[in-house]
Structure 1
Amino acid sequence: MRRRRGLAALLGPPLLWLVVAYLGALAVIFATAFWTTDPFTNLVVRTFTLENFREVGSSTYAGIIGRTLLIAVLVTVLCVVVAVPFAFFMARVAPRRFRGLLLAGILVPLWASYLVKAYAWRTMVQSGGVLDSTFGSTPGYGLAAVVLTLTYLWLPYMVLPVYAAFERLPESQLEASADLGGRPLTTFRRVVVPSLLPAIAAGSVFTFSLSLGDYIAVQIVGGKLQVLGTAVLQNITLDLPFAAALGTASVIIMVLYLLAVRRTGALDNL
């Protein structure tokens, strides 16, 4: 009993901070989304209205939300395509003495400045940059550049859970599949893939959510591309309630995504 009281006293302040600072901030954003702005003074008027959400549902902003979702999905898919073979090599092919170095190679970019990495990709995709000089063409600033940059930025968040899944995969299951006559492709489809799906879903929580809310990389390599984050940034000083409505839309999208991911058991891998 004393241990439980001591644990409750220890966890009380962090839980209180979570409720006040995190959930409280979300509640304020949600409430602000139902207010309006005085067109002459740009001051927030605490009058209930649904006009902000009607405007969010307009064709202009629906297109921006759809484009943002497309970017998040493309980044997540590319991260999976790159992470699975790389994690397999790290966990199953590379000698054990080199695995720590490979794992460090994945983690080190996370310590580098976000802006440095984003501006590095800006110099790579620009006309006359590395891609143009090497391959004779470059996507330039725009959707493709944003997808490539965000894939590079968030790839470690996909590699790490997939690598852990490969590490946990029992060798006996692979041997049993081979003993029963399973070909490599059959073993991969029926044994490996079911073991990887929760890890991939867990990694996608990071890649999808981080891509959904990013606006800095978009400003650096996106040219005139508009996404949900840049729309919030542009409206936050002129029309705070509308910016809050856009932010609420992104929160709703992530809640729906997390509910879908939860059914895969991926949240147990976080």
Structure 2
Amino acid sequence: MEASLKARTPRPANGPLHRLSNLLYRKPNLYLALLLIPPLLWFGAVYFGSLLTLLWQGFYTFDDYSMTVTPQLTLDNLAALFLPANYDIILRTLSMAIAVSLASALLAFPIAYYMARYTSGKTKAFFYIAVMLPMWASYIVKTYAWTLLLAKGGVAQWFVDQLGLAPVLHFILSIPGVGGSTLSTSHLGRFLVFLYIWLPFMILPIQAALERLPPSLLQASADLGARPWQTFVQVILPLSIPGIAAGSIFTFSLTLGDFIVPQLIGPPGFFIGSMVYVQQGAVGNMPMAAAFTLVPIVLIAIYLSIVKRLGAFDAL
């Protein structure tokens, strides 16, 4: 009987856990700090710490004779970025990232609009799966598959021949800076692979932005006598810009730093990602690789400042 009474006797309310609970209840900022400090320390030490260490090595000196890195600080690596050969690599990568982002937006918008306005239930689930299904496959496997699709005698060439577009393709491939002997050895083929791989990252943000579009705005536009194309230009398109800008963050940044597609598809020519890979892995010139790493960081920071004004962060 005494044992059962002791078991039912409540514990004193002034225990250490109770005092800690009261302290955290009275000071919610302290509670929030205790929750955030561990992941922030990990994020700051592992991510920013390693990144800053890498960028700091961009000021080190690389001895071409001994193939060694010395901690002697210099600005020669940053100055080398503006040499004609390296500057051409930066422009080539930047132009490809912009082209892929624009083309992704043009292709993604009709799909996203149909998903947002005309599908529901199982149909919408089917479209979600269809859009995300390519993302379930290995990135490298998809790239190697495209080398076969774009090769001479591949599926893409067969479709071109069946549709009678061989003269058009031959003309496109003959354009300087675009063409090559085949699709797999041209910048056009490289562009198609980038477009295929990153397109889902553009469709989903646009679809989310269009789905949040109030139907009452479209009804009000129709009631005021606006034609369908006027409603699209003056109502739908402006309100979908944050979603387009949000999707372009992914397509732009992922294209800017990619190094696998430029190595497997298209004509010989370095991109920023492949240049970092070669300098660090094949040559061992870590300072020059670190200097090239600074380029996409600066370009993405500038790009983020631009799309932030378009409401991209609100659509993520």
TM bin, normalised by shorter chain, reads over 0.9
- 1:114 CA displacement: 0.4
Once structures 1 and 2 are overlaid, which stretch shifts more, 181-190 or 220-229? 220-229
Please, what is the CA RMSD of the aligned residues?
Answer: 1.4
Q: Which residue of 2 aligns with 1:250?
A: 296
Using the alignment, how far apart are the partners of 2:85 and 2:262 within structure 1?
A: 18
Rounded Cα–Cα distance in structure 2 between residues aligned with 1:156 and 1:16: 33
Equivalent pairs counted in the alignment come to: 270
**Residue 103 of structure 1 aligns with which residue?**
128
Q: CA deviation at 1:96?
A: 4.1
Shift of 1:21: 1.3
Deviation by residue 1:40-83 (Cα, 9 ceiling, x = unmatched): 22221111111111111111111110000111011111110111
TM-score for the superposition, normalised by structure 2: 0.82
Give the unaligned 5+ runs of structure 2: 1-25, 167-181
Q: Distance in 2 between matches of 1:95 and 1:9?
A: 43
Residue in 1 that maps onto 2:175:
none
Distance 2:123 2:311 in 1: 31
Q: Structure 1 stretch 222-231 or stretch 54-63: which is displaced more?
A: 222-231
User: Which structure: larger Rg?
Assistant: 2
Kept in 2, the 8 Å contact 1:142–1:225? The answer is no
**Aligned residue number for residue 188 of structure 1:** 232
In structure 2, what is the Cα distance between the partners aligned to 1:97 and 1:64? 46
Deviation at 1:263, TM superposition (A): 1.2
Between stretches 20-29 and 69-78, larger displacement belongs to 20-29
Question: 55, 60, 77: which one pairs with 1:30?
Answer: 55
Alignment partner of 1:42 is 2:67:
yes
In 2, Cα distance between the equivalents of 1:89 and 1:268?
22
Match of 2:44 among 3, 13, 19: 19
Could you say which residue in structure 2 is the equivalent of 1:146? 190
In 2, the alpha carbon distance for the partners of 1:40 and 1:58 equals 21
Give the CA deviation at 1:95.
4.6
Distance in 2 between residues matched to 1:95 and 1:15, nearest whole Å: 40
Deviation at 1:104, TM superposition (A): 1.5
Confirm or deny: 8 A CA contact 1:235 1:242 kept in the other structure: yes
Which residue of 224, 239, 243 maps to 2:268?
224
Matched AA of 2:306: A
**Mapping for residues 82-97 of structure 1, pairs under 5 Å:** 82-97=107-122
Q: Relative CO higher for 1 or 2, CA cutoff 8 Å, sep ≥ 6?
A: 1
**SS of aligned partner of 1:181:** coil
> Equivalent residue of 2:127, what SS?
helix
Separation of aligned partners in 2, 1:174 and 1:154:
30
CA contact (8 A) 2:60 2:69 kept: yes
Q: Scaled by the length of structure 1, what TM-score is found?
A: 0.96
Q: What is the distance in 2 between the residues matched to 1:126 and 1:3? A: 62
Q: Is the 8 A contact 1:158 1:207 kept in 2?
A: yes
Distance 1:103 1:160 in 2: 8
> 2:64 aligns to what SS in structure 1?
coil
For the pair 1:120 / 2:166, whether they are aligned, the reply is no
> Which residue of 2 is the match for residue 215 of structure 1?
259
Partner Cα distance (1:216, 1:96) in 2: 38
Q: Could you tell me how far apart the structure 1 residues matched to 2:233 and 2:308 are?
A: 22
DSSP 3-state at the match of 1:128: coil
Identity of aligned residues (%): 39
How far residue 6 of structure 1 moved from its aligned partner, in angstroms, is 2.7
- Structure 1 residue aligned with 2:306: 260
